[in-house]
């Protein structure tokens, strides 16, 4: 059996990539699906569209590779996190659209819980912020707002899952209701210290325990699927950002990476101990391999590459995302304009659910080209803010609790995700951070991480040394901007953020 199959179910599209033993993609397929915006700040997906698109690209990738299910050693799954689905246990039919991680409909519920003094309870048990970003209040909203849902859930007739759980349920014909540590740790229902669903939180939110999936290791055979013409082990599961961290080979504490996808996500491995942030980051579980829990610090930017979709789909300033690189490079600056893309509030390190997006600093000379450049720059500025918070956290942690790998922390920033193919953005990111930005030869590290987790589980790769041997840099972007100029640009960004807060 020569290949590993990876499902990469993202916020705007579903992809399947077939990898070989060297970690190279031999075939890939991708399909976008519809984004649903019922009200301002609300975001939904059709659960069946998620499944049908993912199943479809799976078949397409196998066909493109010219292989059969017999040639596939294992299937790994990585997915958009926090997105919340509820379906009928007997029929497998969803009771409502999936509520997407970007959706802010439960921000008032989070405010009420915070005002009632529960913020520290959630933080201490889950490592997360009490925020509408995470799954728990989305699930509570579904139970409270879908007619009959509460009664059915209490009878044990409804199941909850994040996207990985939904995919595996469908892959196995409803015989497996499982998730892994990384996805469970994003629900605001999972105690990352005991590695169990937290009974206190379940009681507080009135969520029946019978709805929740079993939690498994990120690397290990959890089920089999026969939907592609033969029996394939489902052997790897990880939320997209933890999968990317694994795919980048960040196995040592202190190693970090940034992903430029729909959002931007900076994760740093902290080893076998959770580190609580003092500067607006969250503590989460990293992909587990070898049976021991692993942890990470994370900064989440809600709108990263999605700002380019906005330029294309809503403003009609571009036809294709690839146009942005040449447009941005055609002007020396933005003429002082900043885009703060807080379309669904601000994530780390600000955590302002009520902030909304704006273009700040407009003058008559600002053109379409300057707006495009400002949109790309917004990803770099938001990443800079997270890096600053992470550095502060590193310096604040007692060395007995957290020991970083020597020379590994922010000496360079490995990157991945679709937007990292944009040379302008990567160079600007290096300039703003003042450290080299390293783009790997395989930028599909989210899918690659899921493939590695699955392959390790079935012996396709013998260990993490095989993964490190596969890594290589396609290009390293060296900082070129004068430090004082970079500082001035960052101050302008910080002023712009202050203007749109609240």
Report CA 420 to chain centroid distance, whole Å. 15
Q: 406 pLDDT exceeds 50? A: no
In the three-class reduction of DSSP (H, G, I as helix; E, B as strand; rest coil), residue 449 is classed as helix
Using the 8-state DSSP alphabet, how is residue 287 labeled?
P
Does 123 score more than 80 pLDDT?
yes
Residue 253 pLDDT: 80
- CA trace torsion 169, 173, 175, 181 (10° rounding): -20
Rounded Cα distance between 108 and 441, Å, is: 44
Q: In angstroms, rounded to a whole number, what is the distance separating the alpha carbons of residues 187 and 207?
A: 12
Check residue 291 and give its pLDDT: 76
Q: How do residues 431-485 score in pLDDT, each as one tens digit? A: 999 989 999 888 788 999 999 999 999 999 988 888 888 888 889 999 999 999 9
| Confidence check: pLDDT of 180 > 80 | yes
Alpha helices of 7-88 — where are they, by DSSP H?
Answer: 47-65
Name the residue among 92, 50, 82, 95 with its Cα closest to residue 186. Answer: 82
Percent of the chain's residues with pLDDT above 70? 96
Residue 404, pLDDT > 60, answer no
Q: What is the mean pLDDT of residues 32-58?
A: 94
Give the residue-averaged pLDDT of 212-226: 95
Is the predicted pLDDT of residue 280 greater than 50, yes or no?
yes
- What token pair was written down for 288? 């587990």
**Alpha-carbon distances, residue 370 vs 335, 376, 420, 489 (angstroms):** 7, 10, 20, 15
The tally of CA atoms less than 13 A away on the side-chain side of residue 7 is 33
Position 408 pLDDT exceeds 50: no
Task: Determine the pLDDT at residue 472.
Answer: 82
At residue 489, does pLDDT exceed 90? Answer: yes
pTM, rounded to two decimals: 0.85
Give CA–CA dist 443/417, Å, rounded. 6
Q: Identify the DSSP state of 423.
A: H
Our CA dihedral for 99, 100, 103, 107, rounded to 10 degrees, sits at 60
Residue 370 has a pLDDT of 97
Question: Residue 319: which residues within 8 A CB-CB, separation 6 or more?
Answer: 312
- pLDDT value of position 19: 96
| Averaged pLDDT for residues 339-356 | 90
Strand partners, 45: 98
Asked if pLDDT for residue 271 goes beyond 90, the answer is no
State mean pLDDT over 35-60: 95
Give pLDDT, residue 398: 45
pLDDT score recorded for residue 410? 67
């Amino acid at each position: 059996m020569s290949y590993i199959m990876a499902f990469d179910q993202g916020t705007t599209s579903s992809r399947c990539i077939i990898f070989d033993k060297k970690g190279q993609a031999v075939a890939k397929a991708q399909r976008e699906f519809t984004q649903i915006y019922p009200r301002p700040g609300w975001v939904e997906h059709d659960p069946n569209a998620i499944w049908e698109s993912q199943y479809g690209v799976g078949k397409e990738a196998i066909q493109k590779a010219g292989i059969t299910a017999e040639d596939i050693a294992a299937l790994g799954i990585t997915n958009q996190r926090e997105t919340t689905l509820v379906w009928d246990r007997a029929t497998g039919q969803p009771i409502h659209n999936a509520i997407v991680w970007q959706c802010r409909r439960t921000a008032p519920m989070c405010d009420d819980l915070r005002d009632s003094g529960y913020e520290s309870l959630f933080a201490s048990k889950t490592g997360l912020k009490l925020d509408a970003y995470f799954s728990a209040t989305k699930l509570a909203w579904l139970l409270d707002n879908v007619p009959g849902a509460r009664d059915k859930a209490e009878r044990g007739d409804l199941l909850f899952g994040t996207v990985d759980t939904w995919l595996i349920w469908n892959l196995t014909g409803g015989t497996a209701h499982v998730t892994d540590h990384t996805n469970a740790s994003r629900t605001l229902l999972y105690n990352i210290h005991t590695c169990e669903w937290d009974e206190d939180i379940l009681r507080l939110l009135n969520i029946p325990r019978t709805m929740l999936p079993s939690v498994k290791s990120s690397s290990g055979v959890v089920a089999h699927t026969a939907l592609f013409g033969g029996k394939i082990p489902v052997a790897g599961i990880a939320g997209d950002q933890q999968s990317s961290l694994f795919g980048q080979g960040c196995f040592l504490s202190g190693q970090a990476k940034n992903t430029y996808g729909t959002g931007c996500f900076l994760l740093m491995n902290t080893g076998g101990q959770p580190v609580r942030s003092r500067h607006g980051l969250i503590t989460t579980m990293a992909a587990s391999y070898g049976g021991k829990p692993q942890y990470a610090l994370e900064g989440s930017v809600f709108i990263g590459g999605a700002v380019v979709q906005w330029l294309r789909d809503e403003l009609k300033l571009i036809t294709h995302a690839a146009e942005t690189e040449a447009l941005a490079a055609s002007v020396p600056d933005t003429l002082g304009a900043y885009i703060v893309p807080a379309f669904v509030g601000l994530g780390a390190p600000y955590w302002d659910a009520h902030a909304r997006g704006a273009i700040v600093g407009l003058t008559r000379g600002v053109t379409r080209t300057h707006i495009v450049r400002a949109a790309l720059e917004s990803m770099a500025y938001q990443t800079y803010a997270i890096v600053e918070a992470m550095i502060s956290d590193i310096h604040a942690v007692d060395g007995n609790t957290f020991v970083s790998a020597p020379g590994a922390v922010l000496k360079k920033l490995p990157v991945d995700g679709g937007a990292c193919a944009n040379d302008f953005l990567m160079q600007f990111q290096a300039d703003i951070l003042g450290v080299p930005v390293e783009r790997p030869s395989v930028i599909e590290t989210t899918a690659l991480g899921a493939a590695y987790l699955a392959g390790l589980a079935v012996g396709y790769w013998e260990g993490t040394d095989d993964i490190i041997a596969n890594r290589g840099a396609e290009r390293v972007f060296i900082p070129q901007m004068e430090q004082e100029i970079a500082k001035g640009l960052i101050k302008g960004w910080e002023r712009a953020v202050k203007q749109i807060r609240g």
